[in-house]
């Protein structure tokens, strides 16, 4: 690799390594259940407690996050008969004092609605605590945390139970729930300061859906929602509407329906991706569960991972400008976007090349981008020479000048001799490799200036067989809905003589561990990721120890690295 071609790098100060999970490790089951307060809507704990006990015994969780456990529930059979569980309740007076509450105004049935329970046969309780949120608004929303130790293997982890602000009045409520999330993250940081960098699993009724500011706060801190990343996950809404009474006066709920008003996935179990792996996510909809509450229990099985340790030497990462440096004023994959990236300091740029049926090689990502930017409904493969010469990539955005679909010669002409172009294979044909190599030589470039990548394994293998001088990158779309075996992917890389294994950053979350990435490196392959488009993505790339990444926001990645100063630093 040309030394100047990697002048733009990110040095990871605290990238991480990990040990593979022992195959004999028993999964840890975490359950979250908003049990609906005793007396709410006229439904007592006494008429629901038997079903609640049955749900717990049937699901057999190791840790339970409860919500809305008020005085009626505390006095019910639920917490007396489940004696196989320890209860983490916390010091309510101390928590109220920390929250600046007036103890004289405190009501007994308001406090500590979110206790934890843990299976005593398997887990030891080492430490715990309780915090309240927004006491001036509603005192019962709280955070209960615990440090637990698995008796079988000594693994320790942090568990938490919580219930976020409940109203749905738009931005204001979203902001309060985001504050709840940041409070949790701050408390976890203080617990880790005392107990070390332990895995974290927790959750409850967060009163928000995927993509909300509160959940984004967790994602930015390196967490994931098990309902979004587990290979097996339920799409049944956890909230299913208010309880009713049937003709015989019995308490009744019903299974939530996706898309129905009031039926939403409001209950979430989140975890630090470095320390745990979600195996299965379920929304419990058996008869006992749905007739207790307006929320169904959520259950997730996890494997605990060994927390990674800082590397002894910095790791250098290549920051690759994906499709050039583009925005609303300059369309992607244009000569102008590619030139602007290089002129702005990018040493690596990634573009896409199709071989059309008319025999031309054009720079374009896919059919949808062709339609998005030009309004042309054709496939890229069907573009004619007249289309290529006349279609305007700036027409959809009404830009003040035309932007043409570039030919490969036009793109290669703007690649500096001390930089690299990563060319992704699209629309592969028997002539593709020969035409591509001829264009590179015509531009006065060499294999030191070119890297070839593709999602199309067979195309990449064929190209490499014809022109082994080019370094190749397999863009691997990892499966998220079935078991992942890194050895099979490594074997395919070797069979095609590919040098770089490059999965999507987002799809590695909960799929790849550092042990998997280390296996790639041990096999003599370079490990990179594509699609680093947020600070959370950069943290994930750092966690896996990637040596490079593509980003739609090449310049922003430097700012993200500065914001993550404890983990990454930039050298120019």
Q: What is the DSSP string of 322-388?
A: ETSS--SSS-TTSHHHHHHHHHTT-SEEEEEEEE-TTS-EEE---HHHHHHHH---S-GGG--HHHH
Three-point CA angle 532, 537, 542, nearest 5°: 100
* Residue bearing the bigger pLDDT, 161 or 72: 161
Q: How confident is the model at residue 130 (pLDDT cuts 50, 70, 90)?
A: very high
Beta bridge partners of 318: 9, 548
The answer on pLDDT for 21 being more than 60 is no
Q: How crowded is residue 61: how many other Cβ atoms within 10 Å of its Cβ? A: 22
pLDDT of residue 137: 58
The torsion angle over the Cα atoms of residues 67, 73, 76 and 82, rounded to 10 degrees, is: 20
Q: What pLDDT digit, counting tens, does each position of 290-321 carry?
A: 999 999 999 999 999 998 876 665 667 899 99
pLDDT of residue 296: 95
| Distance separating alpha carbons of residues 243 and 249, to the nearest angstrom | 12
| Distance separating alpha carbons of residues 316 and 295, to the nearest angstrom | 47
pLDDT of residue 18: 36
pLDDT of residue 470: 98
- Which structural domain range is residue 220 located in? 28-306
Closest CA relative to residue 231, chosen from 273, 270, 279? 279
**Whether 174 contacts 208, CB under 8 Å:** yes
The answer on pLDDT for 16 being more than 50 is no
The reply to whether 540 falls in a domain is yes
Domain's final residue, options 279, 306, 333 = 306
* Residue bearing the bigger pLDDT, 43 or 313: 43
The reply to whether 405 falls in a domain is no
pLDDT of residue 34: 96
| Distance separating alpha carbons of residues 546 and 521, to the nearest angstrom | 10
pLDDT of residue 140: 66
526 and 559, same structural domain? yes
323 and 275, same structural domain? no
Phi, psi for residue 305 in degrees, rounded to 5: -110, 155
* Residue bearing the bigger pLDDT, 98 or 484: 484
pLDDT of residue 314: 61
| Distance separating alpha carbons of residues 557 and 568, to the nearest angstrom | 11
The answer on pLDDT for 22 being more than 90 is no
The reply to whether 465 falls in a domain is yes
Which residues have a Cβ under 8 Å from the Cβ of 349 and sit 6 or more positions away? 320, 321, 324, 338, 341, 342, 415, 419, 420, 421, 422
pLDDT of residue 563: 78
The reply to whether 279 falls in a domain is yes
430 and 289, same structural domain? no
346 and 254, same structural domain? no
* Dihedral sign, Cα of residue 49, residue 55, residue 57, residue 63: negative
pLDDT, average across residues 486-501: 98
pLDDT, average across residues 428-441: 97
315 and 299, same structural domain? no
The answer on pLDDT for 54 being more than 50 is yes
**Which residue shows structure tokens 């060994």?**
306
Q: What pLDDT digit, counting tens, does each position of 243-259 carry?
A: 999 999 999 998 888 87
* CA 20 centroid distance within chain: 21
DSSP per residue, 86-114: EEE---HHHHHHHTT--GGG--TTTS---
pLDDT of residue 569: 52
pLDDT, average across residues 462-490: 95
Share of the chain above pLDDT 90, in %: 76
pLDDT of residue 9: 38
The answer on pLDDT for 87 being more than 60 is yes
Average pLDDT, the chain: 90
**Whether 452 contacts 425, CB under 8 Å:** yes
Q: What pLDDT digit, counting tens, does each position of 328-347 carry?
A: 999 999 999 999 999 999 99
Tokens of residue 366, six digits = 């896919």
Rg, the chain, Cα only: 27
The answer on pLDDT for 190 being more than 80 is yes
The answer on pLDDT for 50 being more than 70 is yes
The reply to whether 188 falls in a domain is yes
pLDDT of residue 571: 40
Tokens of residue 298, six digits = 């959520």
The reply to whether 521 falls in a domain is yes
* CA 16 centroid distance within chain: 17
Longest CA–CA span in the chain (Å) reads 85
pTM recorded for the entire structure: 0.88
321 and 283, same structural domain? no
202 and 276, same structural domain? yes
451 and 560, same structural domain? yes
265 and 198, same structural domain? yes
246 and 178, same structural domain? yes
pLDDT of residue 24: 74
Q: What pLDDT digit, counting tens, does each position of 254-281 carry?
A: 888 887 877 899 999 999 999 999 999 9
**Which residue shows structure tokens 């890229």?**
380
pLDDT of residue 10: 38
pLDDT of residue 167: 83
The reply to whether 71 falls in a domain is yes
CATH number for position 515: 3.20.20.190
Tokens of residue 530, six digits = 């594509």
| Distance separating alpha carbons of residues 176 and 167, to the nearest angstrom | 10
**Whether 188 contacts 221, CB under 8 Å:** no
233 and 181, same structural domain? yes
The reply to whether 253 falls in a domain is yes
| Distance separating alpha carbons of residues 157 and 423, to the nearest angstrom | 44
Domain's final residue, options 276, 306, 336 = 306
What's the domain count of the chain? 2
CATH number for position 302: 3.60.10.10
Three-point CA angle 44, 49, 50, nearest 5°: 135
231 and 325, same structural domain? no
406-428 exposure pattern, b = at least 16 Cβ within 10 A, e = fewer: bbbebbbbbbbeebbbbbbbbbb
């Amino acid at each position: 690799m040309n030394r100047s071609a990697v002048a733009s790098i990110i040095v990871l100060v605290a990238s991480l390594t990990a040990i593979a999970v022992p195959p004999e490790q028993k999964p840890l089951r975490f359950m979250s259940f908003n049990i609906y307060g005793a007396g709410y809507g006229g439904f007592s704990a006494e008429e629901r407690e038997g079903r609640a006990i049955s749900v717990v015994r049937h699901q057999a969780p190791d840790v339970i996050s409860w919500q809305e456990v008020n005085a009626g529930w505390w006095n019910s059979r639920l917490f007396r008969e489940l004696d196989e569980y320890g209860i983490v309740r916390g010091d309510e007076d101390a928590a109220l004092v920390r929250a600046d509450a007036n103890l004289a105004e405190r009501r007994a049935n308001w406090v500590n609605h979110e206790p934890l329970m843990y299976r005593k046969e398997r887990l030891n309780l080492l430490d715990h605590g309780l915090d309240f949120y927004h006491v001036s608004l509603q005192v019962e929303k709280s955070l209960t945390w615990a440090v637990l130790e698995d008796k079988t293997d000594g693994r320790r982890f942090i568990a938490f139970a919580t219930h976020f602000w409940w109203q749905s009045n738009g931005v204001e409520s979203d902001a309060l729930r985001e504050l709840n999330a940041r409070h949790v993250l701050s408390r976890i940081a203080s617990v880790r300061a005392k107990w070390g960098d332990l895995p974290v699993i927790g959750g409850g009724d967060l009163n928000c859906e995927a993509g909300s500011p509160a959940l984004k706060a967790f994602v930015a801190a390196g967490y994931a929602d098990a309902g979004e990343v587990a290979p097996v996950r339920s799409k049944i809404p956890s909230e299913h509407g208010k309880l009713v009474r049937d003709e015989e006066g019995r308490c009744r709920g019903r299974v939530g329906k996706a898309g129905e008003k009031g039926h939403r996935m409001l209950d979430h179990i989140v975890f630090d991706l470095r320390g745990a792996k979600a195996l299965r996510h379920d929304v419990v909809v058996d008869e006992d569960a749905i007739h207790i509450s307006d929320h169904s229990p959520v259950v997730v099985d996890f494997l605990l991972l060994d927390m990674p340790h800082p590397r002894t030497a910095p790791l250098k990462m290549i920051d690759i400008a994906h499709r050039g440096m583009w925005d609303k004023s300059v369309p992607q994959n244009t000569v102008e976007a590619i030139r602007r990236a290089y002129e702005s300091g990018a040493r690596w740029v990634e573009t896409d090349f199709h071989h059309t049926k008319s025999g031309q090689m054009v720079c374009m990502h896919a059919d949808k981008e062709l339609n998005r930017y030009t309004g042309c409904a054709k496939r890229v493969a069907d573009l004619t020479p007249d289309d290529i010469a006349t279609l305007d990539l700036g027409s959809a955005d009404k830009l003040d000048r035309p932007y043409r679909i570039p030919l490969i010669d036009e793109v290669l002409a703007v690649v500096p001799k001390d930089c690299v172009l990563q060319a992704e294979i699209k629309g592969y044909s028997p002539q593709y490799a020969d035409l591509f190599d001829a264009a590179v030589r015509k531009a006065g470039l060499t294999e030191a200036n070119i890297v070839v990548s593709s999602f199309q394994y067979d195309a990449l293998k064929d190209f490499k067989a014809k022109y082994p001088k080019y370094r190749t990158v397999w863009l691997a779309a990892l499966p998220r809905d079935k078991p992942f075996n890194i050895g099979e992917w490594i074997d395919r890389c070797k069979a095609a003589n590919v040098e770089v294994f490059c999965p999507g950053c987002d799809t590695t979350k909960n799929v790849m561990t550092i042990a998997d990435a280390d296996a790639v490196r041990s096999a003599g392959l370079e490990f990179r990721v594509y699609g680093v488009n947020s600070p959370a993505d950069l943290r994930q790339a750092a966690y896996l120890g990637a040596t490079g990444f593509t980003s739609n926001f090449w310049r922003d990645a430097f700012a993200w690295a500065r914001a993550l100063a404890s983990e990454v630093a930039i050298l120019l």
